[in-house]
A and B are shown apart, each in its own frame.
Chain A
Amino acid sequence: MPEPDRSRWHPIAASHDLPFRHVYHAQLLGREFAVWRADDGYVNVWENRCLHRGVRLSIGMNDGRELKCQYHGWRYANRTAGCTYIPAHPADAPARTITNRTFPAVERYGLVWSAEEPVGEVPALAGVTEGRQLVLRGIPVNAAAEDVAERLRSYRFQPNGALDGKDAEVALEAASDTSVALRSREAGADTLAVFFVQPVDAGRSVIRGVLDDDAEGPQRIAVMRHHNRLLSKLRDEAEREAAGKPAPASIEPVYERVSAELAEMPEVTPHGRKAALRVEVARKFAAADGIAGFELRPIKGLLPTFQPGAHIDVHMPNGEIRQYSITNGPGESASYVIGVKLEPDSKGGSKCMHETVREGDVLAISEPRNNFPLRRDALKTLFIAGGIGITPLLAMAQALQNQRLAFELHYFAQNESQMAFRDRLAALGSSLRPHLGLDPAATGAELRRLLHGYEAGRQVYLCGPGPMLEAARSIAAELGWPDSSVHFEYFKNTNTIDDSSSFEVALARSVMTLQVPAGRTILEVIRENGIEMPSSCEQGACGTCLCTVIEGEPDHQDVYLNDAERRAGTKILTCVSRSKSPRLVLDL
């Protein structure tokens, strides 16, 4: 058999094969696909194997937003096919390279079309009107596509208006090696039928027929039964013939390595912070009093996979860089939605977003990073948000709700008009618990009530203003919550950074020893010496520049690490923290 043409579009399913919450098992030229429609209507065509153990994803679960593998529960996002959660590693964010291969999908004429490397558009069908066609039942045939297509040239059927007749004249209007267009006429009735033969594998195919007619009710069923009967007969004949020939060898699909764009690191910018993506502000809206919502759509292609808790760097027109959490629920992968609170003492970040950035503007953003990963193995999860701290926790709450896991979202705000993203909040139902207009003392009392009665298997996630987080963390500790169950994210580091020390940093993997003088950060010094290090907020809040300490005593000045991690002294935020010992050995 000659090498198959992988650039041609073929139908791989009918639209009616893809009801919500189903995974269809398709195959084209030997390659299997898991095909599923997300609740937002997007049709995903993916390589039919989990990246973990190779189990077919077509037996997985489509929860409307993500596809979950049946074997070990790895979850993959709508559109991007990026892994969002690995149950065996509940505290970790999956690497972005864990992204399944996707294939294009176009719905046209009631069929779903795909190809491995398509060239051009899905072919237009002369004589068939999009939206008023009748799609026949697909007929799988254990015979080669070209043999089936050959047989279809002499297929005889009655026009829809004369199903009971016997003498229709059928004319061949067009044909290729995988398609046939036939017109049947009798006594004034006239029906055009176009048949595509989907090459499933070397010796297997599916006949997919489309009629230019939108018959309704019993007539529609009668037409479909008419063709089903005739095509089944054609199938039986084709299979009898094929059974007499030696079975062709299956087509072996080539499984590609991870794509170059996933495997490559984004370009380096002079300040070391990367903004690999260009997005358009598709919508700017009032998310609440003083909070602007931005919906950011990709200029081309798809946005990278995000996980709940992830943030992006937004590079603003005025040169400032700020971090914003992605508020999207799982599978909402067409755009990122962020919320920006106008800070009264804004140094140009939130002010620029509120006053300068408009719909239609293009912004540079970083890939999403997740330094605030959500465990999904808790018996119950508490989210405690203060003000704009709602944004990462909203994404998390939506993820747990989608998986029907137990949680409560406690939202502290001044009043109802300051509660952001009310449509998303409303969808959380009774799991949302607003706490409005409380002063610090009343907030403390409420936090004490909420955190009372710690039990194993509970997790709490905190995000909000510094004083509130300090209060919540100390109350949690007092009420017996272990550090490992208390997760928090600060907006900013309000500690006064003492950079007066000078010390030596040894980079164990790079075999380099560097001097960090007073007034310079570890991050600056190692970058200057050519060592790649990601960073984001550069003030010790986000956790991006986290590094492992092999030897020495770190001088922690960040707000990212918890008390246990600080005491252990095995991690350091290189953007602000320093060394108490004269020498620090880092795993770099």
Chain B
Amino acid sequence: MITLYDYELSGNCYKLRLLMSMLGVKYKAVPVDFYPGREHKSEWFLAINPLGQLPVIEDDGLILRDAQAILVYLAARYDPSKKWYPVDDPKMLGEIGQWLAFADGITSTSSAARLHDGLFYDFDVDAARAGAHRLFRILDEHLWFGEQEGREWICSAPHPTVADIACFPYIMLSEEGGIPRQDYSAIRRWCDRVKRIDGFVVMSGVFPASPARAA
């Protein structure tokens, strides 16, 4: 079984819990006391991930770090429909790669602001918030035109991909870093769609959506 080194309040760990739930993959979570224990900087954890970052998974002898990398691995290995990470579709893989990098940008801005406000990290919170707003504007425009063109998800596939899962958590948690989403109406609608994917689970600070209207 997969082992997830997990912290409940981490959006990056949540990404993996979310995808594994949607894929119906069973896993064992090993809680790591990120705050206040700083267990991710402890000797035993650094032996697993010398970067001292969550999340990490162990699966079948493979130790893998980095949320985006793990999403790619899980989808490629455990999604027989090949929708979440279409390994045979180079264009789609390119699109996904582009948005996974974008998700890293969301982590370094929106998540940083949240760590500053919630866990007292010494970050430049104004810069983090401004950076998040810049990214959200870009994504909102992308999603708004997507709706107009009949595209519901971040990539051009007619179904969600790991790119949606990678971007979702730190967008949903942005208010905890003082970054309102009021100006991003298309992002807010896309969040509802993500919440309606079968297998969706919540975390602290992420609320469920109401069921979609019956067709």
B185 at the interface (CB under 8 A from A): yes
Tell whether A21 is near chain B: CB-to-CB under 8 Å.
Answer: yes
A306 interfacial by beta-carbon distance below 8 Å: no
Cβ of B148 and Cβ of A221 under 8 Å apart?
yes
Q: Which of A16-41 contact B (CB under 8 A)?
A: 16-17, 19-22, 24-25, 27, 39
Are A221 and B212 in contact, with the CB atoms below 8 A?
no
Q: Which of B145, B149, B185 contacts A17 (CB 8 A)?
A: B185
Inter-chain contact A63/B210, CB cutoff 8 Å: yes
Is the pair A21, B185 in contact by a Cβ cutoff of 8 Å? Answer: no
19 contacts between A and B (CB under 8 A): A20-B212, A21-B209, A21-B213, A24-B188, A25-B185, A25-B188, A39-B213, A59-B207, A61-B209, A63-B210, A64-B213, A137-B144, A137-B145, A138-B185, A140-B183, A221-B145, A221-B149, A228-B145, A232-B141
Instruction: Decide if A347 is an interface residue (CB 8 Å cutoff).
Output: no
In chain B, residues 77-100, which have Cβ atoms closer than 8 Å to a Cβ of chain A? none
CA distance A19 to B189 in the complex (A): 8
Kindly list 8 other residue pairs between chains A and B, CB separation below 8 angstroms, not including A21-B192, A25-B181, A228-B141. A13-B185, A17-B185, A17-B189, A61-B209, A62-B210, A64-B210, A221-B149, A232-B141
Interface residues of A in 101-133 (CB under 8 A from B): none
| Chain A window 387-431, contacts with chain B (Cβ cutoff 8 Å), 1 for yes, 0 for no | 000000000000000001000000000000000000000000000
Given A61-B208, A62-B210, residue A22 in contact with residue B148 (CB < 8 A): no
Q: Cβ of A228: which chain B residues have Cβ within 8 Å of it?
A: 141, 145
Q: How large is the interface on A (under 10, 10 to 19, 20 to 34, 35 or more residues)?
A: 20 to 34
Binding site for B on A (CB under 8 A): 13, 16-17, 19-22, 24-25, 27, 39, 58-59, 61-64, 68, 70, 137-138, 140, 206, 220-221, 224-225, 228, 232, 404
Assuming the A-B contacts A21-B213, A137-B144, A224-B148, are A27 and B208 also in contact, with contact meaning beta carbons closer than 8 angstroms in the complex?
A: no
Cα distance A577–B33 in the bound complex, in angstroms: 64
CB of B61 within 8 A of chain A?
Answer: no
Whether B182 is near chain A, meaning CB under 8 Å from some CB there, is yes
Report how far A21 CA is from B214 CA in the complex, Å: 10
Chain B residues 134-150 with CB under 8 Å of chain A are: 141, 144-145, 147-149
Question: Distance (Å) between the CB of B129 and the closest chain A CB?
Answer: 12
Known A24-B188, A138-B185; judge A224-B145 contact (CB<8 A): yes
Determine how close the nearest CB of chain B comes to the CB of A195; give it in whole angstroms.
18
Q: Determine which residue in A61, A62, A68, A220 has the highest number of CB atoms from chain B within 10 A of its CB, and name it.
A: A61
Q: How many pairs, one residue from A and one from B, have CB atoms within 8 Å of each other in the complex?
A: 54
Interchain CB contact under 8 A, A61 and B148: no
Closest A residue, CB atoms, query B141 = A228
CA distance A221 to B141 in the complex (A): 13
Residues of B162-191 at the interface with A, using a CB-CB cut-off of 8 Å, are 181-183, 185, 188-189
Q: Which B residues are within 8 Å of any A CB, using their own CB?
A: 141, 144-145, 147-149, 181-183, 185, 188-189, 192, 207-213
Nearest chain-A residue to B183 (Cβ)?
A: A140
Residues of B within 8 A of A16 (CB): 147
Cβ-neighbour of A25 out of B182, B209, B212 (below 8 A): B182
List of A residues within 8 angstroms of B192 by Cβ: 21-22
A137 to B146, CA, bound (A): 12
Chain A residues in 8 Å Cβ range of B149: 221
Q: How far is the CB of A284 from chain B (nearest CB, A)?
A: 30
Bound complex: CA of A139 vs CA of B162, how far in Å?
29
* A140 closest partner in B (C-beta): B183
CA distance A137 to B144 in the complex (A): 8
- Separation in Å of the A217 CB from the closest CB of chain B? 10
Once bound together, how far apart are the Cα atoms of A62 and B189, in whole Å? 12
On chain B, the residues within 8 Å of A70 by CB distance are 207
Contact between A21 and B207 (Cβ–Cβ < 8 Å)?
A: no
Give every chain B residue within 8 A of A17 (Cβ-Cβ): 185, 189
* Most B Cβ at <10 Å: residue of A70, A137, A220, A221: A137
A224 to B186, CA, bound (A): 15
Q: Give every chain B residue within 8 A of A59 (Cβ-Cβ).
A: 207
- Within the complex, the shortest CB–CB distance from A477 to chain B, in Å, comes to 38
In the A-B complex, the 9 residue pairs with the closest CB atoms: A140-B183, A61-B210, A20-B213, A63-B210, A70-B207, A25-B182, A17-B185, A21-B210, A137-B144
Tell me the bound Cα distance from A67 to B188 in angstroms: 17
| Residue among B149, B182, B213 having the largest count of chain A Cβ atoms under 10 Å | B182
Cβ–Cβ contact B189 & A22, under 8 A: yes
Determine the distance from Cα of A224 to Cα of B192 in the docked complex, in whole angstroms. 24
A residues in contact with B210, CB < 8 Å: 21, 61-64, 68
A581–B189 Cα gap in the complex (Å)?
65
Closest chain A residue to B182, Cβ basis: A25
Per the bound structure, the CA–CA distance linking A21 and B189 in Å amounts to 10
Q: How far is the CB of B173 from chain A (nearest CB, A)?
A: 13
Q: Output the nearest chain A residue to B144 by Cβ-Cβ distance.
A: A137
Across the interface, which residues of A come within 8 angstroms of B188, CB to CB?
22, 24-25
User: Which residue on chain B has the smallest CB distance to residue A217?
Assistant: B149
Q: How far is the CB of B182 from chain A (nearest CB, A)?
A: 5
> Closest approach, in angstroms, between the C-beta of A507 and any C-beta of chain B?
47
Q: Which residues of the other chain, B, contact A13 by a CB distance below 8 angstroms?
A: 185
Judging by beta carbons under 8 Å apart, are B145 and A225 in contact?
Answer: yes
B189 near A404 with CB under 8 A, answer: no
Q: Complex: how many Å from CA A19 to CA B193? A: 11
Decide if B211 touches A404 in the complex (CB within 8 Å). yes
Chain A neighbourhood of B212, CB < 8 A: 20-21
In Å, the complex CA distance between A228 and B149 comes to: 15
User: Nearest-CB distance from B193 to chain A (Å)?
Assistant: 10
Interchain nearest-CB distance for A541 vs B (Å): 37
In the bound complex, what is the Cα–Cα distance between A220 and B148 (angstroms)?
9
Residue in A19, A63, A140 whose beta carbon sits within 8 Å of that of B211 in the complex:
A63
Closest to B192 in A: A22
Which residues on B sit within 8 Å (CB–CB) of A137? 141, 144-145
Candidate in A21, A70, A221, A232 with the most chain B CB atoms within 10 angstroms: A21
Most buried by A among B148, B183, B188, B207: B183
Q: In the complex, which residues of chain B have a beta carbon less than 8 angstroms from the beta carbon of A25?
A: 181-182, 185, 188
Contacts of A61 in B (CB 8 A): 207-210
- Give Cα distance in the complex from A249 to B65, angstroms: 46
Minimum C-beta distance from A414 to chain B (A): 33
A84–B189 Cα distance when bound, in Å, is 26
